[in-house]
């Protein structure tokens, strides 16, 4: 009986309890692989070429977990990601 009462309490209030929890949202434009020599030679003005092509989607992650693909857009002079596909869990 106690288990049911606890279960009902979680079901009634559970979603409301987590709605204001803050998570890190990260947009990954692309990746590349570099030698440590190349990393140590990085300086302002260095161009780092990524593997992704211009028309490939960017990855949107929540707490380092991939959740969606999207495309880069500009909103009020800031970069943003327009979600084009939700990923399966």
> What's the sign of the alpha-carbon dihedral 79, 30, 62, 40?
negative
Does residue 4 register a pLDDT over 70? Answer: no
Q: Where are the alpha helices (DSSP H) in 1-89?
A: 2-18, 36-40
What pTM, to 2 d.p., does this model score? 0.70
What confidence tier does 89 reach under pLDDT thresholds 50, 70, 90?
A: confident
Q: What is the mean pLDDT of residues 11-28?
A: 85
Give 2's pLDDT tier (boundaries 50, 70, 90): very low
């Amino acid at each position: 009986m106690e288990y049911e009462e606890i279960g009902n309490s979680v079901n009634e209030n559970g979603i409301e309890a987590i709605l204001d929890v803050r998570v890190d949202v990260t947009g990954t434009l692309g990746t590349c692989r570099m030698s440590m020599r190349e990393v140590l030679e990085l300086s302002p003005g260095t161009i780092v070429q990524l593997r992704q092509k211009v028309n490939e989607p960017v990855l949107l992650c929540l707490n380092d977990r991939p959740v969606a693909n999207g495309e880069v857009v500009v909103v009020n002079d800031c970069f943003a990601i327009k979600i084009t596909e939700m990923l399966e869990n």
